[in-house]
A and B are shown apart, each in its own frame.
Chain A
Amino acid sequence: MIDAKKIREQFPILDQKINNYPLVYFDNGATTQKPLRVIEAISLFYKTSNANIHRGVHTLSRVATDLFEQARRTVAAHFNVKNEQQIIFTAGTTDGINLVAQGLSKSHLQKGDEIIIAEYEHHSNILPWQMWASENQGKLKVIPLKEDQSLDYEALENLITPKTKLIAVTQVSNTLGVLTDLEKVTAIARRHLIPVMVDGAQSAPHMPVDLEKLNADFFVCSAHKIYGPTGVGVLYLSEKWLKNLPESKPGGGTIKTVTFEKTEYADGALRFEPGTPDIAGVIGFAEAIRFVNEIGMKTIFEYEHELVQYAQNLLKQIPEIIIYGVSDHKAGVISFNVKGQHPFDIGTLLDKYGIAVRTGHHCTQPLMQHLNIDGTVRISFAVYNTKEEIDFFLEKLKKVITMLS
């Protein structure tokens, strides 16, 4: 059971008025708000333990290194990863995907190879592959959507050729909230010995993710969508790729020995973490992980699912509303339009009532082209949202529709 009131008390930002109305924050898919304990963990680090890590012999450097490496273990345990070296701290999901793309392009991908993605990918999981393909006469192939905007897994099988070298899919569509059936994807991929990369930016915040069970080759997500700070993310590498993925961002801290002639790189995660990382951010992220684990990812999933069902049922009662992503397997997100109205107008007027929603193409222009629309209004939930907020949102949405028509 979720005590939303108690949870809300931990988020200072929620207790404010926007345009004279209590803030209703339904843009959690873009970024979640941060609980006080995360903000304080970051502040405490700078107040008491700040030093650079993995280098110094002095006490503060050791304390900072311990905190940073403890955070790695916290994140590894959260995703059920036995060897914490498989957890690499990045600047975010986009950074993680680029690390994979650049690493693979150095060894695994050959001229003319093919990469498969899904039709509802975020631009971040299209552009790096498209760039590689355009520079290497490669091909980007797309798993199409079915009528209910879930993926057509049968079509996936037909897209595979001997040149297919990677399947890179999102676990949850950021625009539609629709869940990818990763068991199906990985089963097909294994049969053809194709590596799988999972974009977990929108799944990790909403549901339990067991990376051992998932058995993907690569998994990426962002801290800031899981109640943690911006600028921090995770790249998980399978044991095989931890050894075999070429480093693509050389720099300080990634090495064993350096001469002007050649460099021997470090083993493990450090090989992929050049320069000084966002130490305080990583420590804040570990605190965010402790926050969600005290509630429980399964509890969070069930609670948010209930919010999605509740809001979706009420939205369906408004005749002008069109909901996208009608599949029942959804997490945290509802995308919709109002017939004859532009999402920008809806979002602008809702903001006047203190309601924060996202409008536009949500960095999924190819999906918009498939749906033949310019954009949608997206509401996305977090553990601190309530049914009362949904009621208020619906009341004001009806008012906005009247104003516009």
Chain B
Amino acid sequence: MTIEEQEKEITAEFEFFGDDWEAKYEHLIDLGKSLPKIKPELKTEDRIIKGCQSTVWLGAELIDGKIVYTADSDAIITKGMVALIIRVLSGQKPEDIVKANLSFVDKIGLKEHLSPTRANGLVSMINQMKKEALVKMQGN
């Protein structure tokens, strides 16, 4: 699936909840809980993206020309957001990742989590994901 198709799928998935924010957040929490564990060797000090409040660890590996991201967070809602972003960007080509605008986050009503308060580290995580993609692109 392309980035765009993934975004469409997630948007449709969240449309189902309508205005029921409690159900939406319960889903987000479930996504966070089911996020595959990051490899322990990738959960290191130098891979920490520190938000003011919650912390994110990001791993990126180039496999067959595509970037496979893995990540973790100590806060479950952040982890749910991480799961969504990984679903969209992981397994994509670096050049597509760099261009991705992730507008689906706005469409599913979770834009507040990408506000630049640096509380949760998500904005920094996305920047870091794109940076990794850029580095791997130039490495090719």
* A interface list, Cβ under 8 A from B: 19, 341-345, 348-349, 352, 359-360, 374-375, 403-404
- Contacts A360-B53, A374-B74, A375-B53 hold; do A344 and B29 have CB atoms under 8 A apart? no
Q: Which of B19-76 contact A (CB under 8 A)?
A: 21-22, 25-26, 29, 52-55, 74-76
Q: Is the CB of A344 within 8 A of B54?
A: yes
Indicate which residue in B22, B26, B77 contacts A344 across the interface (CB closer than 8 Å): B77
- Assess whether B102 is interfacial by the CB under 8 Å rule: no
- Assess whether B120 is interfacial by the CB under 8 Å rule: yes
What is the bound-complex CA distance between A345 and B28, given in angstroms?
A: 11
* B interface list, Cβ under 8 A from A: 21-22, 25-26, 29, 52-55, 74-78, 119-120
29 contacts between A and B (CB under 8 A): A19-B21, A341-B76, A342-B74, A342-B75, A342-B76, A343-B53, A344-B53, A344-B75, A344-B77, A344-B78, A344-B119, A344-B120, A345-B76, A345-B78, A348-B77, A349-B25, A349-B77, A352-B21, A352-B25, A359-B53, A360-B52, A360-B53, A360-B119, A374-B55, A374-B74, A375-B53, A403-B25, A403-B29, A404-B29
What is the bound-complex CA distance between A360 and B78, given in angstroms?
A: 14
Residues of chain B within 8 A of A348, CB atoms compared: 77
- Least distance between B54 CB and chain A CB atoms (Å): 5
- Least distance between A217 CB and chain B CB atoms (Å): 34
- Contacts A374-B74, A404-B29, A404-B76 hold; do A342 and B54 have CB atoms under 8 A apart? yes
- Least distance between B120 CB and chain A CB atoms (Å): 7
- Least distance between A21 CB and chain B CB atoms (Å): 11
Residues of chain A within 8 A of B52, CB atoms compared: 360
Residues of chain B within 8 A of A343, CB atoms compared: 53
- Least distance between A16 CB and chain B CB atoms (Å): 18
Residues of chain B within 8 A of A342, CB atoms compared: 54, 74-76
What is the bound-complex CA distance between A359 and B29, given in angstroms?
A: 19
- Least distance between B64 CB and chain A CB atoms (Å): 36
Chain B residue nearest in CB terms to A19 = B21
Q: Is the CB of A403 within 8 A of B75?
A: no
What is the bound-complex CA distance between A319 and B25, given in angstroms?
A: 24
Chain B residue nearest in CB terms to A341 = B76
Residues of chain A within 8 A of B22, CB atoms compared: 352, 403
Residues of chain A within 8 A of B76, CB atoms compared: 341-342, 345, 404
- Least distance between A254 CB and chain B CB atoms (Å): 37
Residues of chain A within 8 A of B26, CB atoms compared: 403
- Least distance between A333 CB and chain B CB atoms (Å): 18
Residues of chain B within 8 A of A352, CB atoms compared: 21-22, 25
What is the bound-complex CA distance between A342 and B29, given in angstroms?
A: 12
- Least distance between B29 CB and chain A CB atoms (Å): 6
- Least distance between A195 CB and chain B CB atoms (Å): 34
Given contacts A343-B53, A403-B22, 5 further A-B contacts (CB under 8 A): A342-B54, A344-B75, A345-B77, A348-B77, A403-B25
What is the bound-complex CA distance between A404 and B30, given in angstroms?
A: 9
What is the bound-complex CA distance between A348 and B73, given in angstroms?
A: 15
Chain A residue nearest in CB terms to B80 = A345
Chain A residue nearest in CB terms to B33 = A404
Residues of chain A within 8 A of B78, CB atoms compared: 344-345
- Least distance between B110 CB and chain A CB atoms (Å): 11
What is the bound-complex CA distance between A79 and B76, given in angstroms?
A: 46
- Least distance between A404 CB and chain B CB atoms (Å): 6
